[in-house]
Structure 1
Amino acid sequence: MATEGLTCPECGSSNIVDDQLYSQPQLVCEDCGSVISEGLLTTTASEEVQGTDIAYRYTTAVDKQPCRNLIKGLQRLRAFCRILRLKTDTEQMSETFYKQAYSHPHFINVSLQKKEVLVGCCVLVSCRLCNWPIGMGTICSLLEADPNLLGVVYLQMMKTLKIEAPNTAIIEMLEAHCQEYKLRPEHVSEGLSEDVKALTKRATALIELAADTWIVTGRQPVPMMIACTFLAWQSLRPTKDRLKYSVDKFCQMAKVNRNQTAPKRVMELKKVLSKLGQEIPWLRVEVTLANVMPHVDDIMENQSALLRRAMRTYEESLQDEDQPDPQEDPPGEHATLASPEGAAPCQTSRDPEHPPPAQPCLAACEPDGERAQAPSDAGPTTGTDVQQEDDDEPLDHADARPLLVPVETWSKKYLFVPPCVRHPKKRKRRAETPMPEVTGDEDISDSEIDMYIRTPQEVRDFVKTKEILSEEEEEEEEQ
Structure 2
Amino acid sequence: MSDAVLRCPGCGSSNIVDDTFGCNPQLVCADCGNVLSEGALTNGDNPVGTDVSYSRSVAVARKPCLNLVKGLQRLKAMCRFLRVHKEIEELSHVYYTDAYQHESFIQVSLQKKEVLAGCCLLVSCRLRNWPIAMTTISCLLDVDPMTVGAIYKEMVRILHIEAPLVGITDVIEAHAQEYKISSLDVPEELAENSKDLTKRAVALVELAADAWIVTGRRPIPIMMAAIYLAWQSLKPSKHRLNLSLDKFCQVAKVNKHKPATKRITEMKGVLCKLGNEIPWLSEAVTPSNVVRQLGDILQYRFALLRKAMRTHETASQTSELEAGPTLNAFAAEQCELNAERSSDSDDRPCTVPELQSDNKDQPGPEPNWGKRVLFAPPCVIKPKKRRMERPEQLEVTGYEEISDSEIDSYIRTPREAREFALTQNLLAEREKL
Structure with the bigger RCO (C-alpha within 8 Å, sep 6+) is 1
Q: Considering fraction of residues, name the structure with more helix.
A: 2
